[in-house]
Amino acid sequence: MSTITDPVQGGFRISMLLYDTRYRSMTIQVIALIGFLLAIGWLFGNAAQNLAALGKPLNFSFLGDTAGYDINQRLIEYNSQMTHGRAAVVGLLNTLLVAVLGCITATVIGVLVGIMRLSKNWIISKIMTVYIETFRNVPVLLWIIMTMAIFIEVFPKPSDFRGADAVASMKLFESVAVTNRGIFIPSPVFGSGSMAVIAVFILSIVGIFVFGRWAHKRQDETGQILPTFWIKLGIFFIPSIIVFYVMGQPISLEYPELKGFNFKGGFHMRNSLIALWFALSLYTAAFIAETVRSGIQAVSKGQTEAAAALGLRPGRITSLVVLPQALRVIIPPMISQYMNLTKNSSLAIAVGYMDITGTLGGVTLNQTGREMESLMILMAIYLTISLTISTVMNVYNERVKLRER
Amino acid sequence: MKKSVFIGTLAAASVTASLAAAGTLDDVKAAGELKCGVSTGVVGFAAADANGVWGGFDVAVCRAVAAAVLGDANKIKFVPTTGKTRFTALASGEVDMLARNTTWTYSRDIDLKFDFIGVNYYDGQGFMAPKALGVASAKDLDGATVCIQTGTTTELNLADFFRANNISYEPVPIETNSEAQAQYLAGACDVFTTDASGLAATRATFENPNDHVVLPEIISKEPLGPLVRHGDNQWGDVVRWTLNALISAEELGITSANVDKLASAAGNNPEVNRMLGTEGDLGAMLGLDKSWAHRAIGVAGNYGEIFEKNIGEATPVGLARGLNAQWTNGGLIYSPPFR
């Protein structure tokens, strides 16, 4: 006969932190964390101390000083008498502009190329393979510089448009000038009454969404399908055009004209913007194409066959069966492609595009000698942009991902 | 990833900052090599030849310093720097001195913590335009597209000039001189602006230099000179007096041809004797030996010889002495006495 005794309920002893497996891993983690924080603290302290020894303690007041330099592409009002902080904002907007433009075109090209690479047509699929492999495997900086070099050498200079026997001429009914300094396109001039046209245009875009929802609901209830594309196209154009003529054509176009050294009037898309945009788009599109291809191939063939057996037409199979499932695979790597494009845009100065790296991290850094501060702000800005892209895309990913019930 | 890059930057900054604190003269002697920051290639001032040997007006200063300190004008590591990277390279200790057509300005001297040790070329900013453009004056440039190197004083001068004259322009920022040339020659910009000496050097490399004119306006003062980090006065003195030795040598008639003879025995000019170490020991005050100046001048001769050989009127760059003549000839080049 034996008596069952309870295990000894000893109190907590310090040594248990090391010898008791229940606590040991936590002890190690706490020690590692303290060590990590100390190391970071030492690095920061050391940097601050050495900068102070150099006579350059961290100081951000230079952002309020007069910049003194000009920037060619300004999305907001800026001149050389404004501050370094303002110049940084101008650069930031230029970064965002090329990033947004680049992400849109890269997605369009990437999706098309990705689908075409799966084409049964041998020539098309091989051409796309060659495109993807050449662009993916050459550093993007070389593509940017080469695009710019081609741009500068191939297109005519503004003086070629001059004179009776001009070498070059404007395209599209004398409205667009393609020069090696950039492309000049007509810009709208808003006269009185143009607000009505704009308001109607915005209302028709809202109308398109409302109509889309209504058509969807109607289809759910009755099963009838409307030719929504043509109706939406009509809503997009017809009301605005009617109001445009009713109000007496209040919006006119300002055409670029050769005056003095350059074309004046209209929008000027600088060669640096176009070269950077083009190169970044083509480069990133090659990666996106591969993502799209893998996403589509991840949807099992049985899905397509099952949909076909149910009598769906090929277009609807793609949009209703294949793409929704492919997107789940495509979206996560797409996020990192968008972030890559944004970060790669920091190579802009290679072609003289004044992005945030060119203004804050370039001229401002150089003129003020505040390397540490400028780079810290730059890093914080790129980090913020990347995290924002990531957050937005993750929200979208949550919406399209497989819901497990 | 972001975080680790950040920490790496901090670590790099702290390491280099501690390096900079030691005496540069001792560092250079210990390393047996002078690290000299030069430009990425401006013909006549600093450019590597077909064999990769650096030469030019700015390079000559580096060679003279290396000869004075190490006794060998070839114990140099040339570090090509752009307008953007040069100050970081010097501040971080990547180079011991910078001889790279750098303008001496108040804020660079005071705020960036550098010491300009003198002026080896008095320059001013100008404009170059194709003759076919038909421009006679920089004030006719309203609306022109201007190619400009980023990270330089030219950028600020340009903004000031156009603002003061109330005319507009389109700046095209460019990283290096060669890219600027490519854009200018392709007509992507109407005019190219930089220091007048740089314009002459650039024009010299063109296929048809005579198709391009340098406009008469000089819109700024650009005293170009070598510089070192602030706070290491001994090293600053070594570089400063090496340059002064080259300048004094021209004034006193010491040339590459006669320097060996003059240094072999004391002559009848006391200043020459003091400089070349045949009388007294000025070298010891600098932490160098007696014949430091003899070696510095022996590399490529005096200031005037260096000027004529690299950028003078007989060279493709073709610059006249002008402001850069000795003070005795009506120029601004002047060295304090060796005494």
Q: Which of B83, B84, B156 sits opposite A69 (nearest CB)?
A: B156
Q: What is the pLDDT of residues B213-229, one digit of tens each?
A: 888 888 899 899 999 99
Confidence band, pLDDT 50/70/90 cuts, at residue A4: low
> What's the pLDDT at B62?
94
pLDDT at A47: 85
Residue whose C-alpha is closest to residue A287's, from A325, A341, A346: A341
- B186 at interface of A, judged by CB pairs closer than 8 A: yes
Q: Where are the domains of chain A?
A: 84-137+270-400, 187-254
pLDDT band of residue B115 (cuts 50, 70, 90) is very high
Could A362 and B84 be called an inter-chain contact, meaning their C-beta atoms sit closer than 8 Å?
Answer: yes
Q: Identify the burial level of A180 via C-beta atoms within 10 angstroms of its C-beta, where 0-12 means exposed, 13-18 middle and 19 or more buried.
A: buried
Instruction: Say what the pLDDT of residue A3 is.
Output: 61
Nearest to B173 among A46, A262, A354 (CB): A354
Element (H, E) at A189: strand A187-190
Shortest distance between the Cα of B299 and any Cα of chain A, in A, equals 34
Residues of chain A with Cβ-Cβ distance to B190 below 8 Å are 261-262
pLDDT at B20: 46
B189 — contact with chain A (CB < 8 Å)? yes
Whether A44 sits inside 8 A of B144 (CB atoms) is: no
Residue of chain B with shortest Cα separation from A48: B14
- Name the residue facing A349 among B144, B158, B175 (closest C-beta): B175
pLDDT band at A182 (very low <50, low <70, confident <90, very high): confident
- Residues of chain B in contact with residue A159, where contact means CB-CB under 8 angstroms, are 132-133, 187
* Model confidence at B339: pLDDT above 70: yes
pLDDT band at residue A53 using 50, 70 and 90 as cut-offs: confident
pLDDT of residue A9: 61
pLDDT tens-digit readout, A309-359:
999 988 888 888 888 888 888 988 998 999 999 999 999 988 889 999 989
The verdict on a CB contact (< 8 Å) between A349 and B151 is no
pLDDT of residue B17: 45
Task: Please check the confidence at residue B6 and state whether its pLDDT lies above 90.
Answer: no
A180/B188 touch (CB, cutoff 8 Å), yes or no? yes
Average model confidence (pLDDT) across chain B: 87
| Residue B190 touches chain A, beta carbons under 8 Å | yes
A39 C-beta neighbours (distance < 10 Å), count: 12
Judged by CB atoms closer than 8 Å, whether chains meet at A363 and B141 is answered as no
Interface contact B143-A260, CB threshold 8 A: yes
| Report for A7-16, A246-255, B95-104: range of highest mean pLDDT | B95-104
CB atoms B175 and A352 under 8 Å:
yes
| Average confidence (pLDDT) over B266-295 | 90
User: Which residues of chain B does A54 touch, with a Cβ-Cβ cutoff of 8 Å?
Assistant: 17, 20, 91, 113
Q: Which residues of A touch B105 (CB under 8 A)?
A: none
Task: Map tokens 């930089």 to a residue.
Answer: B194
Q: A23-42 pLDDT, tens per residue?
A: 888 889 999 999 999 999 99
Q: DSSP string spanning B200-253?
A: HHHHHTSS-GGGEEE-S---S-EEE--EEETT-HHHHHHHHHHHHHHHHHHHHT
Class of domain A84-137+270-400: mainly alpha
In chain A, positions 288-347, which contact chain B (CB-CB < 8 Å)? none
Burial A85-94 (b: 16+ CB within 10 A, else e): bbbbbbbbbb
Q: How far is B137 from chain A (nearest CA, A)?
A: 14
pLDDT band of A2, cuts 50, 70, 90? low
Task: Please report which residue ranges of A118-193 form alpha helices under DSSP H.
Answer: 122-136, 140-154
Predicted local distance difference test score (pLDDT) of residue B132: 87
pLDDT tens readout for residues B9-34: 544 544 444 444 458 999 999 999 99
CA separation for the pair A369, A363 (Å, rounded)? 10
Sequence-ordered strand ranges (E) for chain B: 34-39, 47-48, 54-55, 76-81, 97-98, 114-116, 121-123, 125-130, 144-149, 169-174, 191-195, 212-214, 222-224, 227-229
> Which carries the bigger pLDDT value, residue A271 or residue A9?
A271
Interface test with chain B among A37, A181, A272, by most B beta carbons within 10 Å: A181
Contact status, residue B268 vs residue B252, Cβ threshold 8 Å: no
Closest residue on chain A to B4 (Cα)? A40
Contact A152 B183 (CB under 8 A): yes
Handedness of CA B207, B212, B218, B219 (dihedral sign): negative
Which residues does residue A264 pair with via DSSP β-bridges, in sequence order?
A: A257
Q: Do B143 and A261 touch (CB under 8 A)?
A: yes
Q: Is A129 on the interface with B (CB under 8 A)?
A: no
CB-based contact B113 A56, cutoff 8 Å: yes
Distance CA A317, CA B322 (A): 81
- A318 Cα to chain B: minimum distance (Å): 38
pLDDT in tens, A286-302: 999 999 999 999 998 89
Mean of the per-residue pLDDT values for chain A?
87
Provide the pLDDT for residue B67: 94
Contact A398/B at CB under 8 A: no
Report the pLDDT averaged over residues A96-123: 93
Among chain A residues, the shortest Cα distance to B169 is held by A72
Q: pLDDT of A124-176, one tens digit each?
A: 999 999 999 999 999 999 999 999 999 888 888 887 887 767 777 777 677 78
Residue B143 to residue A259, Cβ atoms within 8 A: yes
Comparing CB atoms, the residue among B163, B170, B173 nearest residue A262 is B170
Interface of B with A in 77-116 (CB under 8 A): 83-84, 87-88, 91, 107-108, 111-113
Residue A209 forms contact with B (CB below 8 Å)? no
More confident position, A403 or A204: A204
Residue pairs between chains A and B whose CB atoms are closer than 8 Å: 138
pLDDT at position B9, please?
A: 52
| Phi/psi at B103 (5° precision) | -75, 130
Chain B residues within an 8 Å CB radius of A349: 150, 173, 175
Q: How far is A51 from chain B (nearest CA, A)?
A: 7
Minimal Cα–Cα distance from A293 to chain B, Å? Answer: 28
pLDDT at B15: 46
The second-level CATH assignment, the architecture, of B125-220 is 3-Layer(aba) Sandwich (3.40)
B156 touches chain A (CB under 8 A): yes
Task: Decide if A54 and B84 are in contact by the 8 Å CB cutoff.
Answer: no
Taking the Cβ of residue B11 and every Cβ of chain A, the question of whether any pair is shorter than 8 Å is answered with yes
Cβ of residue A50 closer than 8 Å to a chain B Cβ = yes
B49 Cβ under 8 Å from any chain A Cβ: no
Domain with CATH 3.40.190.10 in chain B: 24-122+224-329, 125-220
Class of domain B24-122+224-329: alpha beta
The span from the CA of A330 to the CA of A336, in Å, is 11
**What single letter denotes the amino acid at residue A180?**
N
**A47 contacts chain B (CB < 8 A):** yes
Comparing CB atoms, the residue among A43, A352, A366 nearest residue B87 is A366
Q: Measured between CB atoms, does A154 come within 8 Å of chain B?
A: no
CB B114 within 8 A of CB B87: yes
pLDDT in tens, B236-265: 999 999 999 999 999 999 999 999 999 888
Q: For residue A254, what are its two tokens?
A: 């300002």
pLDDT, residue B2, reads: 47
Categorize the per-residue pLDDT at A7 as very low, low, confident or very high, splitting at 50, 70 and 90: low
Contacts 24+ apart (CB under 8 A), A197-202: A197/A240, A197/A243, A197/A244, A197/A247, A197/A250, A197/A251, A200/A239, A200/A240, A200/A243, A201/A239, A201/A240
| Interchain CB contact of B172 with A (< 8 Å) | yes
Rounded to whole angstroms, how far apart are CA atoms B298 and B291?
10
Q: Look at residues B38, B21, B36, B17 and name the one whose alpha carbon lies nearest to residue B92.
A: B17
User: Inter-chain contact A369–B112, Cβ cutoff 8 Å?
Assistant: yes
The total of other beta-carbon atoms located within 10 Å of residue A208's CB is: 17
